[in-house]
Structure 1
Amino acid sequence: MRLNALPLALIAGLAFAPTAFAQDAFSTETSTGKRFAVVGGIGLAEPTENTWMGDTDRYDLDGSDAATLSASWYLNDHMAVEAWGAASTFGHRVNGAGGKAGSVDSQPYAISGQYHFRDADALVRPFLGLGYYEQNFNDETVTSTGDLAGQRLGVETAKGAMATAGVDVKLSPSWFARADVRYLGGDSDLYLDGQTVGEAKVNPVIVGVGLGARF
């Protein structure tokens, strides 16, 4: 799993937090009634099923990290509709019995409904969500000496339900830090040389942290 971006995201968030508090220390502004929010962050994706099963061979996928971005519209202080996705691609290593067999990039995006608990001005606000996602796979490559050498790898777009659980920590009436976990359930077909040879079962859990703004 690539973790290079995570420390940078955490450092940036920690560095920004005191500034956000200082700017609003004497403000009478409230978070109540703010109807839009955007969150930028980093997500760490780890497959839970992690099985690519062909007719005779079995492969698995490494985890990865990517930048994420979401935009939410709040119907009221508690209910929101969120559009979420990876702003960059997750880069995965494909492993076979003989070691690395290839690589593939993925980029999920989703829309979901969420319920945010507690008042809008609460310091800590948990939330739950349920929605629909699609995860595109592209840039499939194989190694020259691996189990898939000489073949053309393809992975169909995965589609299914996405469940979300998270928490927002208020930094000011307009800024907040977010941590969440998302489960993406859905299989896709696995192709070799244009022929369907099995299923790609990934069903990843994506753990994310980010910084958000409400307005």
Structure 2
Amino acid sequence: MTFDSSPSRPRLALFDLDHTLLPLDSDYEWGEFTTRIGWTDPQAFSRRNAAFYADYQAGTLDIHDYVRFATEAVRRQGPQAAAAAHARFMQEVIAPAIRPQALALLRQHQQAGDRVIIITATNEFVTRPIAQALGVDEILATELERGPDGWLTGNILGEPNMREGKVRRMAQWLAAQQWGWDDVHSTFYSDSSNDIPLLEQVNEPVATNPDARLRALAQQRGWRTLDLFGGDDA
């Protein structure tokens, strides 16, 4: 695969994270990990975590409720324990899930001179270290509010980076660079029908490991479809 490196407009390569660059959902897996290390009640947490994940897949997730739930254990444990646990999570869960196909795609865009940005609904605590592990410096994630003590409150800071919110957050990022959508050439890779608003906004939408609804829409609209992992769903 090769990319046009024409200097006419800055080129942006935008990537969703979960089930796009990773063959898993990092938010869901972080929740399951906190249960395995004894931070939450196994049955109660797993039941609620699975229900929230089903809501996300159905496009009905209340992200404010979910973030309060998902950060409860982290907030209770405090910054030092949370950082140590996340480092272990990266080693045990994320590192084994990083696939050469995903790294190769990222590097192709980077080597072509594209500005690569991960744009994910998953919160910044979970995802910033993952972006770093993938070699991506810029990430737009759901930001978390911090209280006077500098630690997480359980609330979202600003607009959730989800569905139409991804379009607005990306527009804010562009404005900070003194660009509009017409000033750049944008490509967006995503697996999720939740990301249809941003896929419709960019110049090159790429349905990547798409869910059933997105796969059907991509076929209908002639969008490129990329099955990045093939049969690799580990």
TM-score, structure 1 as length reference: 0.25
**Structure with the higher fraction of residues in strand conformation:** 1
